[in-house]
């Protein structure tokens, strides 16, 4: 195996024996083979589109498969094997469509050459393990080509995740799906560095489109998030804990648990669900339990009730865990031994009755803490406060905004983010999204003229809100360049969606981003230099020096 897609990769080089995340070699190899088969589908998909007969039947499958390979998403080898089998039969179908369309258009059979991803097929899954060994990341020998290809694929994983969430709510955009195919197919071609770099930039543009689409899907379906005080204590009823990002799942779970005497709590990235009007109306949505994803081994124990993982991040259970028999997965998530809730039927809902029955047999959650955290500062809410914010900037009450979005993670060095939050001057405001917020959203950082000093826009995809807020401020202050705003970017990354957000920011022309706690291992020295030259990306440094630089606009 070789995997270097997340920030915790071994020695910041690559996991080669077993993932630091716990991913076994077999799972990693199956994920590589799945990506290889998606490239096969995409090669034909791109060709069909060029012939003017775009095929849309594989869009959802490609997105869900890419999503399933995101760190801490799916641990179930049987699911990956089934996905590879499905990918191969989809490839054979789209190949036939292409060959027929080609002949019809050109009057003769296709006689061009095709990459291995478009020609390899197998009926017998027992050959998958062997094949998987020769299709991984390291098959691209040139370090810089490999780096640009993997940067693109890693960015695509986040785009696919956001696109899948939007599709679940009925929002689709062909341009996004076309690009995903074009980009997957591109990694099988001999392209110049300039061509590959252009594709990476186009991934940034597509990431903005995917986040905008998801924002539209979420706000159309559930209303605009507004300022909310979220309870972090517990009630007296048995509860169900829901984690991940899928808002349709929490909607259906809240409906199905109404008047059952079972309470619902969010965990990790599901916290922002509390900010939506459509969910706030449920009295049995009690609040948020615990912290970010990596605390789950302890927090799922003390929750006592069933836990539903709707997307990543699910971490491997400890051997002596007590919650495997109350762990439920759904969507792209999988874990051997957990109960998987099947997809909703067309025009129907998912059936959460097994989860609800399990909750009835459980004790209420054990209290971890009491109090509230405040959030709900997505674009609509912040723009409603625009006059107040602009006034505070003009009067000098707010000197600087610091965007600290992205992910949390286990490494000790992430205390940097708590220290930055604690030590930023009192006339600065933190704009956040994603689970990075758990490093500072329970600190008493106060407010500036009624504006809290930590403004949480929501999930990592809600970084889009932060972009809209920046655009609005640029307009209000009559600035030409987004980089002239009093905003610094200090992004914490862990997994692939944060890379997608980073590419979106680069596409929008944001310069001088600090990225930490380490620079991605998948960036070769040449690619890092290119990013430094073009975008002035920099690693994080010492807390005090970074704060001084950010406050000075550097």
**Rule CB under 6 A: is residue 531 a binding residue for ligand SF4?**
no
- Report the C-alpha gap between 358 and 260 in whole angstroms: 12
- Pick from 4, 36, 80, 352 the residue near ligand SF4 by CB under 6 A: 4
- Report the C-alpha gap between 85 and 79 in whole angstroms: 10
Footprint of ligand SF4 on 223-282 (CB under 6 A): 268-269
- Report the C-alpha gap between 215 and 2 in whole angstroms: 34
**Rule CB under 6 A: is residue 417 a binding residue for ligand SF4?**
no
Footprint of ligand SF4 on 77-116 (CB under 6 A): none
Q: From 155, 170, 296, 152, select the one nearest 222 (Cα to Cα).
A: 170
- Pick from 3, 341, 515, 519 the residue near ligand SF4 by CB under 6 A: 3
Q: Which one-letter DSSP state was computed for residue 451?
A: E
Footprint of ligand SF4 on 326-345 (CB under 6 A): none
- Report the C-alpha gap between 166 and 211 in whole angstroms: 9
- Report the C-alpha gap between 516 and 531 in whole angstroms: 15
Nearer to ligand SF4, 29 or 488 (CB): 29
The residue behind tokens 């074009």 is: 182
Nearer to ligand SF4, 9 or 256 (CB): 9
Q: Smallest distance, Å, CB 244 to ligand SF4?
A: 8
DSSP string, 88-118: HHHHHHHHHHHHHHHHHHHSS-------GGG
**Rule CB under 6 A: is residue 439 a binding residue for ligand SF4?**
no
Nearer to ligand SF4, 20 or 471 (CB): 20
**Rule CB under 6 A: is residue 463 a binding residue for ligand SF4?**
no
Q: From 465, 456, 516, 467, select the one nearest 491 (Cα to Cα).
A: 516
- Report the C-alpha gap between 14 and 520 in whole angstroms: 10
Q: Smallest distance, Å, CB 330 to ligand SF4?
A: 16
**Rule CB under 6 A: is residue 309 a binding residue for ligand SF4?**
no
Q: Smallest distance, Å, CB 380 to ligand SF4?
A: 21
- Report the C-alpha gap between 291 and 232 in whole angstroms: 10
Nearer to ligand SF4, 287 or 409 (CB): 409
Contact region with ligand SF4 (CB under 6 A), list: 19-27, 57-65, 163-171, 225-233: 19-27
For residues 261 and 415, is the Cβ–Cβ distance under 8 A? no
Contact region with ligand SF4 (CB under 6 A), list: 20-28, 145-153, 377-385, 413-421: 20-28
- Pick from 491, 494, 510, 540 the residue near ligand SF4 by CB under 6 A: 494
Q: Which helix (H) or strand (E) holds 278?
A: helix 277-280
- Report the C-alpha gap between 519 and 537 in whole angstroms: 10
Residue 124 neighbours by CB distance under 10 Å: 7
Q: Smallest distance, Å, CB 332 to ligand SF4?
A: 12
- Report the C-alpha gap between 371 and 287 in whole angstroms: 10
- Pick from 48, 153, 435, 503 the residue near ligand SF4 by CB under 6 A: 435
Nearer to ligand SF4, 23 or 248 (CB): 23
- Pick from 208, 273, 460, 531 the residue near ligand SF4 by CB under 6 A: 460
**Rule CB under 6 A: is residue 8 a binding residue for ligand SF4?**
yes
What distance, in Å, lies between the first and last C-alpha atoms of the chain? 40
Reduce the DSSP state of residue 538 to 3 states and report it.
strand
Nearer to ligand SF4, 71 or 274 (CB): 71
Partners of 217 in beta bridges: none
Nearer to ligand SF4, 408 or 456 (CB): 408
**Rule CB under 6 A: is residue 15 a binding residue for ligand SF4?**
yes
**Rule CB under 6 A: is residue 74 a binding residue for ligand SF4?**
no
- Pick from 265, 276, 293, 416 the residue near ligand SF4 by CB under 6 A: 293
Helices (H), 406-476: 415-423, 463-476
Q: Smallest distance, Å, CB 185 to ligand SF4?
A: 24
Partners of 432 in beta bridges: 456
Q: From 192, 191, 296, 300, select the one nearest 240 (Cα to Cα).
A: 300
Partners of 454 in beta bridges: 430
For residues 522 and 5, is the Cβ–Cβ distance under 8 A? yes
Q: Smallest distance, Å, CB 5 to ligand SF4?
A: 5
- Pick from 95, 497, 514, 538 the residue near ligand SF4 by CB under 6 A: 497
Q: Which one-letter DSSP state was computed for residue 377?
A: -
Question: Which residue of the chain is nearest ligand SF4 when measured via CB?
Answer: 19
Q: Smallest distance, Å, CB 519 to ligand SF4?
A: 14
**3-state secondary structure string across 500-530:** HHHHHHHHCCCCCCEEECCCCCCCCHHHHHH
How many residues bind to ligand SF4 according to rule CB under 6 A? 27
**Rule CB under 6 A: is residue 517 a binding residue for ligand SF4?**
no
- For the record, the structure tokens of 355 come out as 């989860």
Footprint of ligand SF4 on 176-195 (CB under 6 A): none
- Report the C-alpha gap between 333 and 324 in whole angstroms: 14
Contact region with ligand SF4 (CB under 6 A), list: 130-138, 414-422, 494-502, 540-548: 494-502
**Rule CB under 6 A: is residue 314 a binding residue for ligand SF4?**
no
Residue 515 neighbours by CB distance under 10 Å: 23
25-54 mask for ligand SF4 (x: CB under 6 A)? ---x--------------------------
Residues recorded for the chain: 554
- Pick from 77, 197, 312, 490 the residue near ligand SF4 by CB under 6 A: 312
Q: Which residues bind ligand SF4 (CB under 6 A)?
A: 3-6, 8-9, 15, 19-21, 23, 28, 71, 268-269, 293, 312-313, 407-408, 434-435, 460, 494-495, 497-498
């Amino acid at each position: 195996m070789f995997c270097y897609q997340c920030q915790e990769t071994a020695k910041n080089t690559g996991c080669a024996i077993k993932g630091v995340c716990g991913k076994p070699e077999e799972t990693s190899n199956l994920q590589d083979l799945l990506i290889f088969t998606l490239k096969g589908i995409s090669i034909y998909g791109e060709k069909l589109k060029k012939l003017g007969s775009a095929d849309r039947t594989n869009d959802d499958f490609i997105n869900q498969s890419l999503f399933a390979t995101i760190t801490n998403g799916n641990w179930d080898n049987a699911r990956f094997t089934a996905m590879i089998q499905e990918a191969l039969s989809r490839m054979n179908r789209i190949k036939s469509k292409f060959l027929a369309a080609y002949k019809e258009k050109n009057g003769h059979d296709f006689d061009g050459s095709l990459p291995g991803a478009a020609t390899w097929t197998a009926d017998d899954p027992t050959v998958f393990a062997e094949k998987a060994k020769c299709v991984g990341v390291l098959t691209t020998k040139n370090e810089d080509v490999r780096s640009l290809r993997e940067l693109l694929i890693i960015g695509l994983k986040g785009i696919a995740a956001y696109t899948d969430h939007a599709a679940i709510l009925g929002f689709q955009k062909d341009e996004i799906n076309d690009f995903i195919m074009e980009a997957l197919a591109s990694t099988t071609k001999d392209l110049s560095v300039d061509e590959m770099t252009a594709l990476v930039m186009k991934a940034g543009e597509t990431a903005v489109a995917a986040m905008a689409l998801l924002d539209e899907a979420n706000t159309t379906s559930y209303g605009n998030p507004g300022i909310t005080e979220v309870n972090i204590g517990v009630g007296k009823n048995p509860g169900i804990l829901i984690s991940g990002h899928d808002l349709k799942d929490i909607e259906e779970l809240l409906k199905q648990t109404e008047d059952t005497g079972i309470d619902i709590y969010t965990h990790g990235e599901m916290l922002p669900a509390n900010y939506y009007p459509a969910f706030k109306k449920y009295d049995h949505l009690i609040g948020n339990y615990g912290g970010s994803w990596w605390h789950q081994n302890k927090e799922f124990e003390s929750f006592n009730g069933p836990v539903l993982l709707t997307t990543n991040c699910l971490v491997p259970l400890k051997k002596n865990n007590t919650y495997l028999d109350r762990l439920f997965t759904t969507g792209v998530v999988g874990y051997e031994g957990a109960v998987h809730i099947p997809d909703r039927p067309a025009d129907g809902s998912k059936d959460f009755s097994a989860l609800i029955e399990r909750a009835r047999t459980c004790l209420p959650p054990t209290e971890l803490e009491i109090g509230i955290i405040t959030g709900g500062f997505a674009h609509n809410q912040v723009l409603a406060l625009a006059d107040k914010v602009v006034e505070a900037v003009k009067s000098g009450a707010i000197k600087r905004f610091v965007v600290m979005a992205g992910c949390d993670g286990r490494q000790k060095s992430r205390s940097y983010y708590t220290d930055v939050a604690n030590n930023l001057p009192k006339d600065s405001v933190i704009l956040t999204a994603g689970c990075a917020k758990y490093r500072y959203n329970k600190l008493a950082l106060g407010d500036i003229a009624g504006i809290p000093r930590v403004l949480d826009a929501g999930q990592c995809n809600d970084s889009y809100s932060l972009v809209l807020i920046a655009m609005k401020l640029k307009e209000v202050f009559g600035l030409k360049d987004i980089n002239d705003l009093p905003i610094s970017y200090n992004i914490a990354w862990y997994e692939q969606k944060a890379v997608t957000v980073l590419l979106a920011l680069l596409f929008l022309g944001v310069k001088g981003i600090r990225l930490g706690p380490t620079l991605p291992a998948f960036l070769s020295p040449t690619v890092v230099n290119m990013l430094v030259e073009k975008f002035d990306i920099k690693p994080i440094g010492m807390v005090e020096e970074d704060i001084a630089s950010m406050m000075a606009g550097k």
